[in-house]
């Protein structure tokens, strides 16, 4: 399967805002509010040692801690998980998926040089249909389902040879998945580059947890269909939205460019 296009962390990382480990939680909250930040890298002697996120702050405030006296080093997440600035984007995604984290500071020669987060990866369109399956699915689906999906995907390649019309692709995939008793029905609605896939009676997964917001999930057969569209059209397929569950089934929106 195709991999993620070659980018490094240095290409897409942003500056990391830091705070000393002996500062108070109140100072951290003021800094985050002033800069509209959702995370701070915590340092000791200039070296990164931990991270404090917006989610952490909400949880800690709810616990009723004394914000003026509690030091950040007692509530930060540590040990800090980092990545080298010249690592590939696929390495970042794998690490986020493995550790179930959203933010990873980047280092160069042991020094903090930036930070990368899951939202930025999504916004830059680096998480396409094939990379989601290649990197994440094998770690979360049962061996049977992973093997089955891989087999069906490969079998579809022959049926889809030369087919580039999205609606026709979806019809072929839907027919094959019904034959394999994996799904009831898939329908498609296309508006320019945006495609809406509705899957009736499908399976759902949190297989790309760091990249899914709120209560959305990933429709397994919606992913399969997106992969088929990407393979057949040669266009990159990115997710506008992971699936919403409705009475009709799962509704997944993708962009094909």
SS3 of the chain: the string is CCCCCCCEHHHHCECCCEEECCCEHHHHHHHHHHHCCCEEEEEECCEEEEEEEHHHHHHHHHCCCCCCCCEHHHCCECCCCCEECCCEHHHHHHHHHHHCCCEEEEEECCEEEEEEEHHHHHHCCCCEHHHHHHHHHHHHCCHHHHHHHHHHHHHHHHHCCCCCCHHHHHHHHHHHHHHCCCCCEEEEEEECCEEEEEEECCCEECCCHHHCCCCCEEEHHHHHHHHHHHHHHCCCEEEEEEEEECCCCEEEEEEEC
- The confidence score (pLDDT) of residue 1 equals 36
Domain ranges within the chain, ordered by starting residue: 9-123, 129-256
This prediction has a pTM of 0.70
Q: Which of 33-42, 91-100, 208-217 has the lowest mean pLDDT?
A: 208-217
CATH number of 9-123: 3.10.580.10
- The confidence score (pLDDT) of residue 206 equals 55
pLDDT, tens digit, 9 for 90 and up, residues 119-178: 888 778 777 888 777 766 666 677 777 788 888 888 998 899 999 999 999 999 999 988
Q: How confident is the model at residue 53 (pLDDT cuts 50, 70, 90)?
A: very high
pLDDT, tens digit, 9 for 90 and up, residues 64-85: 999 999 999 999 999 999 999 9
Q: What are phi and psi of 25, to 5 degrees?
A: -65, -35
pLDDT, tens digit, 9 for 90 and up, residues 203-253: 666 555 567 666 677 788 888 899 999 999 998 898 887 777 777 788 888
């Amino acid at each position: 399967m195709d991999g993620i296009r070659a980018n490094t962390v240095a290409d897409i990382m942003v500056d990391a805002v830091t705070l000393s480990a002996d500062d108070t939680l109140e100072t951290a909250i003021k800094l985050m509010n002033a800069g509209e930040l959702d995370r701070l890298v915590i340092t000791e002697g200039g070296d990164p040692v931990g991270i404090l996120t917006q989610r952490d702050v909400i949880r800690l405030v709810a616990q009723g801690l004394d914000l003026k006296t509690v030091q950040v080093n007692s509530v930060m997440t540590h040990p800090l998980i980092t990545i080298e600035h010249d690592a590939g984007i696929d390495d970042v995604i794998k690490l986020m998926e493995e550790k179930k984290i959203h933010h990873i500071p980047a280092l160069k020669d042991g020094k903090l040089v930036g930070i990368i987060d899951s939202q930025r990866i999504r916004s830059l369109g680096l998480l396409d249909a094939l990379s989601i399956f290649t990197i994440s699915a094998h770690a979360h689906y049962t061996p049977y389902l992973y093997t089955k999906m891989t087999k069906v995907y490969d079998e579809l390649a022959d049926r889809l040879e030369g087919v580039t019309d999205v609606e026709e692709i979806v019809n072929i995939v839907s027919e094959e998945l019904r034959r394999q008793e994996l799904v009831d029905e898939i329908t498609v609605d296309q508006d320019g580059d945006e495609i809406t896939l509705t899957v009736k009676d499908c399976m759902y997964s949190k297989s790309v947890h760091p990249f899914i917001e709120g209560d959305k999930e990933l429709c397994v057969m919606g992913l399969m269909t997106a992969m088929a569209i990407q393979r057949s059209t040669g266009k990159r397929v990115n997710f506008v939205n992971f699936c919403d569950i409705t009475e009709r089934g799962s509704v997944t929106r993708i962009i094909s460019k």
